[in-house]
């Protein structure tokens, strides 16, 4: 099954496109990679990175990168009337077609990152510094001012429109997820986020790690994202990077990203506390005696020890996405339907709270009991913490979905 999926992905994204092709042909290519969803994680971890990079470079040899990116921008923003809509359109596309995985990084043999935009689009594996530079390149090709922002162990971009800068992060979250300043309805800048506790809390309310954990597992107690946006000393490389490459200089292998100038960060907010979200729970057992059900689990890991409890969502239908492996005992795994094929539809669901149309049980215990009626149920356990509750966070990393039949 895995081999079939890989072959399908390669066939879809390997149609030859000549630089003289019409916009319609370009559009077919953009559409083909936009629909690959999270099938990228079907790639074996030991695939030959250099061979794949070389093949992609050969395929796009001689193609005008800026022209292609300009066409991509036009394709993505068709019908958009506001700059914010264009921002979200490009963000959504890049969040959908890229994925970060430490075991599948696009690096050259010398360890440097791939920044050729067409190679990145062709293959799809991108770290934060790659996908957000790609976002900057797409907007730059369309005539916008852009810059890269160095944060704590994270790199994002900013786009200038409507007389202000707006943060752009295609590495975290999916389906166009970002924050809006409720007072202005604008996408804020890094400086505005850094200097506003209110905006930092909005950032922490996002389910930003969803795509990563859906694709590669759910073991960690992950840090809240506002940590990365707070004052960043220059030792972290904190500040702004403005690309200065000429058209000729952009013809090198890394699309001119070795040409830039640097500005020290101008944000002055206070250093934020390191806060962590609870991990998903390890499911220990699923017991069924007649119609009486008992599900037990191990306590979720929470690195800052403010775990409050669990919400157990009992639903009449599946949430329509799943993790690539089961986190639980072999006994409990017998009630798991297994990993589902992750297409683009997954992006409509992974940011949502589990369904819970039958019941939502709030408990501080590591077990739950309920009576099963005449139909199948799907059960998801979601831990929550004190900090998240205080800021209105509703979606956390949840357990595998348990399927129980009468």
Residues 86-138 pLDDT 10s: 999 999 999 888 887 766 788 999 989 999 999 999 998 899 999 999 999 99
d(CA 3, CA 319): 26
Quickly list DSSP for 314-375. Answer: EESS--S---SS--B-HHHHTTB--PPP--GGGGGTTTSPP--SSEEEEESSSEEEEE--SS
> 226 or 330: whose pLDDT is higher?
330
d(CA 214, CA 312): 19
Q: What is the DSSP letter of 184?
A: T
d(CA 320, CA 228): 31
| Reported confidence tier of residue 42, pLDDT bands at 50, 70, 90 | low
In this prediction, residue 6 carries a pLDDT of: 32
Whether residue 361 contacts residue 314, with contact meaning beta carbons closer than 8 Å, is answered with: yes
d(CA 404, CA 406): 7
d(CA 45, CA 204): 31
- List all residues 6 or more positions away from 68 whose beta carbon is below 8 Å from its beta carbon: 19, 26, 117, 118
Whether residue 136 contacts residue 168, with contact meaning beta carbons closer than 8 Å, is answered with: yes
Q: CA-CA-CA-CA torsion for 97, 98, 104, 110, nearest 10 degrees?
A: 120
Half-sphere exposure of 72 (CA within 13 A, CB side): 28
Query: Token pair of 165, please?
Result: 């800068």
Burial 187-207, CB ≥16 within 10 A → b, else e: bbbbbbbbbbeebbbbbbbbb
Q: CA-CA-CA-CA torsion for 217, 219, 224, 225, nearest 10 degrees?
A: -30
Q: Are strands 145-151 and 154-161 parallel, antiparallel or unpaired?
A: antiparallel
- List all residues 6 or more positions away from 51 whose beta carbon is below 8 Å from its beta carbon: none
d(CA 284, CA 295): 8
Half-sphere exposure of 280 (CA within 13 A, CB side): 24
In this prediction, residue 101 carries a pLDDT of: 72
Residues 353-385 pLDDT 10s: 899 999 999 999 999 999 998 899 999 999 999
- List all residues 6 or more positions away from 358 whose beta carbon is below 8 Å from its beta carbon: 314, 315, 316, 377
Q: Which domains are assigned to the chain?
A: 2-178+231-264 (3.10.620), 283-404 (2.60.40.10)
Q: Are strands 239-243 and 292-297 parallel, antiparallel or unpaired?
A: unpaired
| Reported confidence tier of residue 195, pLDDT bands at 50, 70, 90 | confident
Q: What is the mean pLDDT of residues 35-55?
A: 75
- Quick check: helix, strand or coil at residue 309? strand
Whether residue 153 contacts residue 187, with contact meaning beta carbons closer than 8 Å, is answered with: no
d(CA 400, CA 264): 44
Q: Which helix (H) or strand (E) holds 224?
A: none
Q: What is the mean pLDDT of residues 323-348?
A: 80
d(CA 385, CA 276): 9
Whether residue 125 contacts residue 101, with contact meaning beta carbons closer than 8 Å, is answered with: yes
Query: Token pair of 253, please?
Result: 């292998």
| Reported confidence tier of residue 37, pLDDT bands at 50, 70, 90 | low
In this prediction, residue 2 carries a pLDDT of: 35
Whether residue 36 contacts residue 73, with contact meaning beta carbons closer than 8 Å, is answered with: no
Percent of the chain with pLDDT over 70: 83
Q: Which helix (H) or strand (E) holds 125?
A: none
In this prediction, residue 352 carries a pLDDT of: 82
């Amino acid at each position: 099954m895995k081999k079939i999926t890989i072959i399908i992905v390669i066939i879809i994204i390997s149609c030859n496109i000549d630089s003289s092709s019409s916009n319609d042909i370009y559009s077919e290519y953009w559409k083909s990679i936009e629909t690959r969803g999270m099938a990228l994680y079907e790639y074996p971890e030991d695939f030959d990175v250099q061979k794949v990079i070389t093949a992609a470079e050969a395929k796009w040899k001689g193609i005008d990168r800026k022209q292609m990116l300009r066409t991509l921008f036009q394709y993505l923003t068709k019908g958009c009337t506001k700059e914010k809509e264009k921002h979200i359109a490009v963000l959504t596309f890049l969040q959908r077609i890229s994925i970060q995985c430490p075991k599948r990084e696009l690096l050259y043999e010398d360890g440097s990152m791939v920044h050729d935009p067409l190679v990145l689009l062709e293959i799809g594996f991108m770290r934060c510094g790659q996908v957000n530079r790609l976002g900057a390149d797409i907007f730059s090709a369309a005539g916008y001012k852009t810059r890269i922002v160095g944060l704590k162990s994270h790199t994002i971009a900013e786009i200038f429109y409507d007389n202000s800068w707006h943060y752009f992060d295609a590495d975290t979250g999916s389906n166009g997820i970002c924050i809006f300043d409720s007072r202005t309805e604008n996408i804020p800048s890094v400086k505005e986020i850094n200097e506003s506790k209110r905006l930092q809390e909005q950032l922490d309310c996002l389910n930003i790690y969803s795509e990563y954990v859906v694709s590669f597992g759910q073991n960690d107690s992950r840090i809240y994202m506002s940590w990365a946006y707070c004052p960043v000393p220059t030792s972290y490389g904190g500040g702004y990077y403005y690309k200065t490459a000429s058209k000729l200089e952009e013809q090198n292998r890394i699309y001119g990203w070795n040409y830039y100038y640097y500005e020290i960060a101008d944000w002055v907010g206070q250093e934020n506390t390191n806060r962590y979200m609870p991990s998903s729970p390890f499911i220990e057992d699923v017991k069924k005696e007649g119609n009486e059900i008992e599900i037990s689990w191990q306590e979720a890991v929470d690195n800052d020890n403010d775990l409050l409890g669990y919400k157990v969502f009992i639903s009449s239908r599946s949430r329509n996405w799943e993790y690539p492996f089961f986190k639980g005992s072999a006994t409990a795994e017998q009630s798991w339907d297994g990993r589902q094929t992750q297409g683009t539809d997954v992006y409509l669901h992974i940011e949502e709270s589990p369904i819970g149309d039958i019941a939502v049980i709030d408990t501080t215990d590591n077990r739950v009991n309920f009576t099963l009626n005449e139909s199948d149920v799907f059960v998801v356990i979601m831990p929550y913490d004190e900090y998240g509750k205080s800021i209105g966070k509703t979606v956390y990393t949840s357990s595998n979905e348990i399927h129980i039949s009468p």
